[in-house]
Amino acid sequence: MENKTDILSRLINKNNTGLVTSINDIRDKELCGIKLNHEEKAALANFDRYRINILNAQQKEEDFHYKYRQLQVIANLSDWREFLKEDFFR
């Protein structure tokens, strides 16, 4: 299993070709009243749990804000299916 820093690095450095549907796209879909399938719901829950764990682990305010910005980028640019992987079930 990868540690949290390795997972963040993998998501930030992943080369995406073309457009992907992100976690925020799925969240927008839900907010528009479109019913999500089981996998989309699971990915949102996994991302939210992961985000909370990362942010709660920060000891310094500047680290918290840095990780917060990283997570915003990930939520906007990473494919939502990344959050169905085993790394995010913890």
Q: How far apart are CA 80 and CA 88, in angstroms?
A: 12
Give long-range contacts, CB 8 A cutoff, 24+ apart: 57-63: 57/4
pLDDT tens across 3-55, in order?
Answer: 655 665 655 555 555 578 999 999 999 999 999 999 999 999 999 999 999 99
Does this model's pTM top 0.85? My answer is: no
Residue 33: DSSP 8-state: T
Q: What angle do CA 71, 72, 74 make, to 5 degrees?
A: 60
